[in-house]
Structure 1
């Protein structure tokens, strides 16, 4: 049986920039924020780790040479992880997308399309577990079924709260994600870049199903309003209390809600 880590305790990289820099970063169980000026290596550190993990999160056999992870528990060989990048670039392969009948414009659109499919699977999975709980005949069956439905409701409440200023609300009766605004139905692809970015983050965290996960984020604040930047970490932890966040950022607002002590400067973890 695959044994998954709850979180990463330490990242060590001994080949950063062709071996000129050595990195040792001891991590917090919950929140880790990497800071520093442009070009100092924030994205490089995160990308090195993510690139070294296999698609299913297996390590260390799949890790790049020079990248070492210490995890908890120590004998785990797998990590559940997601990576979020925020740059809303135009789609490169429009011809391929048109062949499969998808009309998308940017990379965030593609991420939302993929997450929509995963969201459907998530709902089926939760629905089956609710039915099983209700059919179990156990005294707390209704309570367990209610608890299973809470994360999805929390996700929907968060979307409504975050988008309230523009009058958008999520359609709770729909299987896929769509919203209404003054009587008009909106697809996720019609939202602004910041709204798409926040929806990508919320959906990614929701479908983690509150399991121990490592969420890597490379400058997630780029498209987000400053108020959303300030709430970002708390929102993620609210949706999945078992997540470990590892992010790089330039934005002071991201750490304003009490996360200053979780900031690490790249210069403090690198040595020649």
Structure 2
């Protein structure tokens, strides 16, 4: 069985920007924030790293010429990862639109949420099966272990309810899919504001990784988010999955306000 990496230790990129620059970035195991002025290459660096990972998380130094990664443990051959992009643009791909049954899925964020809904159902089935197995084991602590298995989902639900409380929206917890109620009306995720969709997509992505070590890439996640949500973003992600490694680009000072200033790297600091 191929071993999964717990986190990325170092990223090297040769010949960036037509061979003019070389990137060498030593990463923190938990939080990494890439900053710099517009056009300096933050998103370019992130995109090159993501392109170096095969679907399913396999990676190799020669997958994308000039892109190398060191991981922990060093003999790992796969990386679990997710990518969050922030722009709520209309869906342009006919292939995507043909895959969607729900006509209310009209933007890229809607498409992300549509895919996450299906993964969320799989996550719940998996958790449910594990709970049944624990309860049937007859062990003295089986009730507590079953409660612990469902704790991340409750934490996610509580987070979303607190975040959306100002607009009166609450998750409908009696349903398996993500639905909301607001003043007696039922809402789908596609009826949320862009900021609400963005936050829901991020936290739902983190939840369904099921507390496993993995890497979360985020390109300017602050777009559309209220400044209070920006300040709390990193803390909420880590609270929901303490085993995540975050690698993000940002322009927003608010994202680093809650004690993350020492995790900021300027693009100029890793460019030679």
Q: Identify the TM-score tier after normalising by the shorter chain.
A: over 0.9
In structure 1, distance between residues paired with 2:66 and 2:231: 35
Q: Deviation at 1:99?
A: 7.1
SS at match of 2:139: coil
2:31 — aligned with what? 31
CA contact (8 A) 1:88 1:193 kept: yes
Query: Closer, same or farther in 2 for the Cα pair 1:96/1:201, shift >3 Å?
Result: closer
1:252 — aligned with what? 253
SS at match of 1:11: strand
SS at match of 2:18: coil
Q: Deviation at 1:147?
A: 0.5
How many corresponding residue pairs?
271
1:50 — aligned with what? 50
SS at match of 2:238: helix
In structure 2, distance between residues paired with 1:173 and 1:100: 25
CA contact (8 A) 2:171 2:178 kept: yes
CA contact (8 A) 2:211 2:242 kept: yes
2:127 — aligned with what? 126
Confirm or deny that 1:231 pairs with 2:232: yes
SS at match of 2:245: strand
CA contact (8 A) 1:49 1:63 kept: no
Query: Closer, same or farther in 2 for the Cα pair 1:100/1:139, shift >3 Å?
Result: same
CA contact (8 A) 2:35 2:42 kept: yes
In structure 1, distance between residues paired with 2:72 and 2:224: 33
SS at match of 1:163: helix
Query: Closer, same or farther in 2 for the Cα pair 1:248/1:96, shift >3 Å?
Result: closer
Query: Closer, same or farther in 2 for the Cα pair 1:262/1:76, shift >3 Å?
Result: same
Query: Closer, same or farther in 2 for the Cα pair 1:95/1:229, shift >3 Å?
Result: same
Query: Closer, same or farther in 2 for the Cα pair 1:67/1:257, shift >3 Å?
Result: same
The range that moved more, 91-100 or 190-199, is: 91-100
Confirm or deny that 1:144 pairs with 2:145: yes
- Structure 1 ranges of 4+ moved more than 4 A: none
In structure 2, distance between residues paired with 1:18 and 1:117: 40
In structure 2, distance between residues paired with 1:99 and 1:23: 38
Query: Closer, same or farther in 2 for the Cα pair 1:58/1:95, shift >3 Å?
Result: closer
Q: Which runs of 5+ in 1 are unaligned?
A: none
2:15 — aligned with what? 15
1:87 — aligned with what? 87
In structure 2, distance between residues paired with 1:26 and 1:96: 36
Query: Closer, same or farther in 2 for the Cα pair 1:11/1:180, shift >3 Å?
Result: same
TM-score by length of 2: 0.97
CA contact (8 A) 1:53 1:62 kept: no
The range that moved more, 10-19 or 215-224, is: 10-19
Q: Deviation at 1:143?
A: 1.2
- Counterparts of residues 1-272 of structure 1 (less than 5 Å): 1-60=1-60, 63-93=63-93, 97=97, 100-103=100-103, 104-271=105-272
In structure 2, distance between residues paired with 1:38 and 1:172: 42
In structure 1, distance between residues paired with 2:192 and 2:240: 22
TM-score by length of 1: 0.97
In structure 2, distance between residues paired with 1:96 and 1:142: 43
SS at match of 2:248: strand
